Amino acid sequence: MQTDRVSGIQAEWRRERPDLDVSPQGVIGRLHRLAAHLTSELAVVYERHGLGEGEFDVLAALRRAGHPFERAPGELAEHTMVTTGAMTKRLDRLAAAGLVVRRAAEGDGRRRVVALTVRGREVIDAAFTEHMANEHRLVDLVPAADRPALEALLAAWLAHFEAP
């Protein structure tokens, strides 16, 4: 196995606390560090399109909804795993940028929805195209033969924390 920063941390803990099994750090520590690196690599694309990660997530959730590209604010919060307060701030920024509009739902004036504007759809389509190219680049760092097993392991582990 390659020696990396996590290996060094484990070696120090083994020296200082030989009574503890620090082997989980080999997985958790590397996943944590990898997630930080991946987030940084993904953010570059979002920024090129004038978006933060949260704004990208909202626009993507709206785009995935299909025509007419709208969802209720609570549904958006659910799809992006943020609080409704955080969602309000994201929606305020996106509305100010002209990427989304808030309006009454058709057939139910009491219900509110958030919809992509034409400009919002253009931005998310361009950003998502570049995002997918970037994700391909990042996943290509893992040998092709190992990717299905890695995906299956991660999906199984994630299932312990999230409902399907």
* CATH class given for the domain over 49-162: mainly alpha
- Structure token pair of residue 68: 């007419």
Give, for all 164 residues of the chain, the pLDDT tens digit. Answer: 558 899 999 999 999 999 999 999 999 999 999 999 999 999 999 999 999 999 999 999 999 999 999 999 889 988 888 888 888 899 999 999 999 999 987 777 778 899 999 999 999 999 999 999 999 999 999 999 999 999 999 999 999 998 87
| Domain map (residue ranges) of the chain | 49-162
Residue reference for tokens 């190219």? 133
- pTM (2 decimals)? 0.88
**Contact criterion met (CB below 8 Å) for 61 and 76:** yes
Cβ(73)–Cβ(87) under 8 Å?
A: yes
